[in-house]
Structure 1
Amino acid sequence: MSSRPTFGTIKRVVAVLIAITVVLAAGIVVGQAPAIFGVEEDSEATIAFEDQQTDGTNVTIDEVSLSDGGFVVITDGGNEPIAASEYLDRGTHQNVTIERSEGDPELVGQLTATVHQDTDDDETYTYEETDGEEDLPYLEGGYPVSDTATVTATGNEAVSDSFTVESVDAPATATTDQTIEVDAEIRNPTDFDQQQNIEVRIGGSVIERQVLELGGGDSSEVTFEVDTTGTSPGTRILGVYTEDHGELQEIELEFHTDPSVTVVDASEDEVTVDVATPESGFVAVEDDEEVLGTSGELEAGEHDNVTVEFDENATVDEDDELTVVVYGGDPADVEAASPIEHEGESVEETFTVADVRAEADAEDGADENGESGEGDGEG
């Protein structure tokens, strides 16, 4: 394990030194220093969006808390929002009403409310119009902070002819390489035969889907074999959904192995590693001063033979001490990424190209000797 500072550590140290200079120049008392240094928790949010009946023109968010202010955005499963709240100041807000704009779809059905930040500080929601550059969602465990509700039209027993989910039975815990059984009781509330899709989602992503046919008024138990591979660990929402209805429960997913990274090949141009990461991120190769190259984005899970090509301006000698580090975040925004830790230590490995080559040559020699030995023993 290397003890040298990563590029993220160096950047934070420089920022602290600059802040200290500002404090001393302004003559501010020491007790105020933490606020100036930016010593605060990452942006956080929570939201509660309960099932409700409306006239289709608005919905009510029961409670939303935002550490830095922002917006609540309503979607119906598509990529585009169908309504967004006015700007909300930091703090907790109750009974927030969100109205649809004229010409937009009615606010009925299976809707999702997601909490977004106001990253450009203009108090105007611009996530879509900036192609996701501004007003990003608040995140928890790498996933947007959101809640899903079934919204039905006032005076109607159902907003559509959708099947209903009467109950869901799934394990409370699982690992991220496991196939679990999810049982759901599905009912057709109408008087006529229908065929509809039934979906299982974890963390908002569709994991399994079946087509179910039911006669009018009939019910049936549906069983799904759900593979959790690639799902990020942590407390996740597992839901079974029909066209306009769903039932949810929490599932605690534990990463199935220890986070790790191992160098399997190296040259002056690139490094190949095997990596196990509990969240989406990437692998970076660094020396004492800079990042020499990064992999593409990796989903949570185990990955073999991940290649990290060095930047075209990087110069690497075979005896240079390098470190490969696993990061959580986007390889397109390295400065904002954070090293993934296991038992309080960064997941990394220090190596030289010469050492990796020597080890590979030794293994090749052992294989050749082993084959020769078998040949000598014959006859």
Structure 2
Amino acid sequence: MSSRLTFGTLKRIVAILIAIAIVLAAGIVVGQAPAIFGVEEDPEASITFEDQQGEGTNVTIREVSLSDGGYVVLTDGGDEPLAVSERLEAGTHENVTIEREDDSTRELVGQLTATVHRDTGDDQFAYYETDGEEDHPYLEDGFPVSDTATVTTTEENALGDSFAVESIDAPPTATTNETIQVNATIRNPTEFQTQQSVTVRIDGAVFERRVLELEGGESRTVTFETDTSGAPPGNRTIGVYTDGDGAVAEIDLAFHTDPSVTVDNASAERVTVGAAIPERGFVAVEQNGSVVGTSGRLEPGEHENVTVDLSENASIAESDELTATLYAGDPSDVDSASPIEFEGDPVRTTFTIGGAADAESGDGSDGDGSEADDSGAESADE
């Protein structure tokens, strides 16, 4: 082979290598495009929707921020939206007015929820028409970004035949497992004797429902014995609502016990725990810092026999140390969830499969000679 041919071959090889390097570099740039050009991979939003009075034709959103633009959708718990805002550009918007459709007969009054949706389609808002395939909500910790408010009216005509809620009296503080008295004055604005449903809600969730019968023009103070079990702790809104009206008060709910998680039984396939969780979340079982299984979603409160199915790909020996941890968020989106803390420390319990099995069978040892507590687990905080 001549040296000329060899030199030409080398040039071609070098050219090919340079081309490959350019392609690889381009791929890296494309892959890093969100970071390089400032595009957010996880769109973010926030919203503030305050209680207000209105005429039933429009409401005002105090403030909404959207990283990628989109819409604000009003609902009242039904399957269809009450109203949708105009498309909002990315950024922060104050005092956004959402108007009822001209051909709609539904009043924008009562307990309403405003949810921030992205604009992922080509045309107008189409979340409901596409069964959630387009224009889906912005998410935070796995849940839609939304806020709930009560819209009341002083106009009798706007209320129609709905009972009016003239006042509410609720305790300013309570715990999340007690029965409280909520007093409300309800009035029938019509001339006729009528039966209507009245509900007590905490942060929009129904905690009591009663059918009330009033004579025409009658006003009556009604006492609701409301069990707060299942309500999330913190500063909450408690309200009494009729079909078209409502009144609200603030209540500070303290979680009724210390957050905790205890292991009742365990095998290489499944762990069973008890949990006292102060907010919506789940239990995760971790091995060496990696999640190997999660429970289903848990509402605030105390739960028994919570099961966590462990991953088939996890290799767990009876003496391997595992950790059961309480998380706030959605178990289907573990990366966005955050550990629940109590007095500054995550709520968690360490255990071994062998130790939990010995505790279940009545043997006090955990398989390696150390003593376990009554649950067969050893607290990580001790």
Decide: shared fold, TM above 0.5: yes
Mapped to 2, the partners of 1:101 and 1:319 lie a distance apart of 68
Q: Report deviation, 1:320.
A: 1.1
1:179 aligns with 2:161: no
Q: Measured at CA, do residues 64 and 342 of structure 1 come closer, stay the same or move farther in structure 2, by a change above 3 Å?
A: same
The reply to whether residue 47 of structure 1 matches residue 46 of structure 2 is no
Unaligned runs of 5+ in 1: 1-20, 27-32, 366-379
8 Å contact kept, 1:74–1:113: yes
1:149 equivalent in alignment to 2:151: yes
Contact 1:115 1:138 in 2 (8 A): no
Alpha carbons 2:107, 2:158 under 8 Å: kept: no
C-alpha distance 338-182 of structure 1, shift in aligned 2 (>3 A): same
**CA displacement at 1:99 relative to structure 2:** 4.0
Letter in 2 for 1:94: N
**For 1:248 and 1:232, how far apart are their aligned partners in 2?**
17
Deviation at 1:313, TM superposition (A): 2.5
Shift of 1:106: 3.5
Greater C-alpha Rg:
2
Q: Shift of residue 259 of structure 1?
A: 1.1
Q: Is the alpha carbon distance of 1:256 and 1:148 closer, same or farther for their aligned partners in structure 2, counting shifts above 3 Å?
A: same
Cα deviations across residues 329-373 of structure 1 (Å, max 9, x unaligned)? 1112222222111122211111111222333444589xxxxxxxx
Cα pair distance change 1:236/1:292, threshold 3 Å: same
In the other structure, the counterpart of 1:369 is none
Task: Check conservation: 1:108, 1:152, Cα contact below 8 A.
Answer: no
Distance 1:175 1:132 in 2: 40
> Unpaired segments of 5 or more residues in structure 2?
1-27, 366-382
Displacement after TM superposition at 1:301 (Å): 0.6
Aligned to 2:269: 269
Cα distance, 1:150 vs structure 2: 3.0
TM-score w.r.t. length of structure 2: 0.75
Alpha carbons 2:76, 2:113 under 8 Å: kept: no
The amino acid across from 1:52 in the alignment is G
Residue 63 (str. 1) matches residue 65 (str. 2): no
Query: Would you say the 8 A contact 2:142–2:330 is kept in 1?
Result: no
Question: Which residues in structure 2 correspond to 1:1-379 (within 5 Å)?
Answer: 43-48=45-50, 50-53=52-55, 58-61=57-60, 63-66=62-65, 68=67, 69-89=69-89, 90-100=91-101, 102=103, 104-110=104-110, 112-118=112-118, 120=120, 125-128=125-128, 129-131=130-132, 135-136=136-137, 144-150=146-152, 157-288=157-288, 290-362=290-362
> 1:225-253: CA deviations, max 9, x gaps?
10111111122111111121111111111
Report the Cα distance in structure 1 between the residues aligned to 2:267 and 2:245, rounded to whole angstroms.
55
Letter in 2 for 1:65: V
Asked if structure 2 preserves the Cα contact closer than 8 Å seen for 1:114 and 1:137, the reply is: no
User: For the Cα contact (< 8 Å) 1:259–1:276, is it kept in 2?
Assistant: yes
CA contact (8 A) 2:84 2:98 kept: no
For residues 77 and 309 of structure 2, what CA distance do their matches in structure 1 show? 37
| Contact 1:49/1:60 (8 A) holds in 2 | no
Query: Partners of 1:140 and 1:45 in 2: how far apart?
Result: 15
Kept in 2: contact 1:138–1:144 (CA 8 A):
no
- More displaced 10-residue stretch of structure 1: 273-282 or 304-313: 304-313
Q: CA deviation at 1:262?
A: 1.0
Q: Given that residues 71 and 116 in structure 1 are in contact (C-alpha distance below 8 angstroms), is that contact kept between their aligned partners in structure 2? A: yes
**Quick one: structure 1 residues 328 and 188, their matched pair in 2 at CA, closer, same or farther if it must change by over 3 Å?**
same
Evaluate the alpha carbon distance shift between residue 295 and residue 101 of structure 1 in structure 2; reply closer, same or farther with a 3 A threshold. Answer: farther
Q: Contact 1:49–1:113 (CA<8 Å) still a contact in 2?
A: no
Offset from partner CA, 1:157-213 (integer Å, 9 cap, x none)? 443111111111111111111111111111112222111111111111111111111
- 1:119 is displaced (CA, Å) by 7.2
Deviation at 1:275, TM superposition (A): 0.8
Cα distance in structure 1, aligned partners of 2:112 and 2:204: 9
C-alpha contact 1:50 1:62 (8 A) present in aligned 2: no
Alignment size in residue pairs: 330
CA distance in 2, matches of 1:95, 1:320: 55
Q: Check 1:140–1:94 CA distance in 2 against 1; reply closer, same or farther (3 A cut).
A: farther
1:13 equivalent in structure 2: none
C-alpha change, 1:236 and 1:119, in structure 2 (3 Å) is farther
Cα shift at 1:98:
2.5
Could you tell me which amino acid in structure 1 is paired with residue 132 of structure 2? D
Q: Retained in 1: the 8 A contact 2:82–2:100?
A: no
What do you get for the CA RMSD once the two structures are aligned?
A: 3.4
Deviation at residue 37 of structure 1 after TM alignment: 12
Within 1, Cα distance between the matches of 2:83 and 2:280? 29
- Inter-partner Cα distance in structure 1 for 2:123 and 2:258: 42
Deviation at 1:260, TM superposition (A): 0.9
Query: Do the aligned residues in 1 keep the contact of 2:283 with 2:326 (CA within 8 Å)?
Result: yes
